[in-house]
A and B are shown apart, each in its own frame.
Chain A
């Protein structure tokens, strides 16, 4: 049965040409066209959303919006919500970064990959999957309802805590993974010259993993800044400017909650404010994202 090609000695020029009508070639063309179409559909939402946010938001945007508070009345603005988003996001970063980086350091540097570390890593994954609204419910029950913070119910702090629950898994993960990328030689070199483990981590390991950790942290801040669900019944909302130290202990306006509240109201002037707030929020988040990308590329070269 074994026909050896050499034995048959065929000398006619083989036909290697691409055959249009062949079933496999037809199938390839159809499938390629299909995934090309899918890609087009996949980028369409971004283009459409960006276009509307930039055009609609941009057209209503003016300086007075930033100097007025979100009273919801004619002549209202989004200025207080911009400040509020910054405050709440800052508070959440203040909680999530130390806890997350510290936890990540434990996982990567101290745990030795034991059962506890695996349990925590598993827990981090589970926590990353917890719906953001649940974080809001949790903080409402623990902080808002109990008025545990000096008798204040809704407050910027409560909002910050809720957001930090969402940030935490990302920060731990990026720290853990960033530190794991640091070559062991570096650690051994530092320990070898007599540095303590604490000094090694602080001076050698952590700085050399700075970029991946910073990238992850920056991205998680961007995400937190856009979150709404955990804030609706923790930070609540406020038509007033945050004032001084009291701002932390009182309800506070944020851009995301402003969008939610004003989008669902039937008044056009408020809908416009929602678009303006979207413009600011989206621009801020996209810039942070592009910055993080740049940071990553900057580090890899």
Chain B
């Protein structure tokens, strides 16, 4: 009921992350239920849906960021190149080094711009030329021009949009395989948003990207694949539980979705 038939077509592709019958709960309250989703390598996959549908929760499950939330637990499995991220012997630190994350609020470290980039790289055992890495990462995140003259100033001396691109650069610098982005533009103005979207087009050449967005236009602009999540009231329960309605190529989701709910949502007839 929650999984769609499209995932069989995805199986033939090169799968990077595979979410298999995953249910995530906060304490005894289920936030999102029975999600199946195969995220292809080297593409941009967007998670869309109304607020409270669990799309951010699922995203955070992809690099075990939910571990930081007290009482959050996961059933099912998430495979990354065939390795179960939730296996008993898995070190979440190893996971996060391969699957980086950009957050909703720009969150540079209260350190210099240079150190913001170098810190992650250094703890990940990077031993090459640090100056070069810093410059390359900032260039890739399209924020080098704004930063090059003030590398020793605090990351917080930048504007919000620049801070977010600094955070993207920081993530690039740890050389992950996947970059997760949790509504990266929701706190930014339109011009900064545009810049970040342009950056993403560049990044997808090197990384698999999964982005959560509440902005359908953005999903349409940047993503190759789109997953639509929705939430429904639980019988007898107080809250809502999220589930995956439909997962397909972005074009299909927006032009000829197979589910009525998706149709309603993408055409804006939805709360």
Contact = CB atoms under 8 A, between A and B. Distances in A.
Interface of A: 1-7, 9-19, 24-25
Contacts of B175: 3, 5
Interface of B: 14, 41-42, 80-83, 85, 87, 89-91, 93-95, 98, 132, 136, 175-177, 205-208
Contacts of A18: 89-91, 94
A47 to B, nearest CB: 27
Given A3-B175, A16-B95, 15 more contacts: A1-B136, A4-B206, A4-B207, A5-B175, A6-B42, A6-B206, A6-B208, A10-B81, A14-B80, A14-B98, A15-B83, A16-B94, A16-B98, A18-B89, A25-B91
A11 to B, nearest CB: 7
B94 A11 contact: no
A11 B176 CA distance: 15
A4 B205 contact: yes
A14 B89 CA distance: 13
B91 A13 contact: no
A24 B85 CA distance: 20
A1 B136 CA distance: 10
Contacts of B98: 14, 16
A2 B136 contact: yes
Contact of A17 (B81, B82, B91, B205): B91
Nearest to A11: B81
A16 B206 contact: no
Contacts of B87: 16-17
B137 to A, nearest CB: 10
B177 A16 contact: no
Contacts of A2: 136, 206
Contacts of A1: 132, 136
Nearest to B16: A6
A14 B205 CA distance: 21
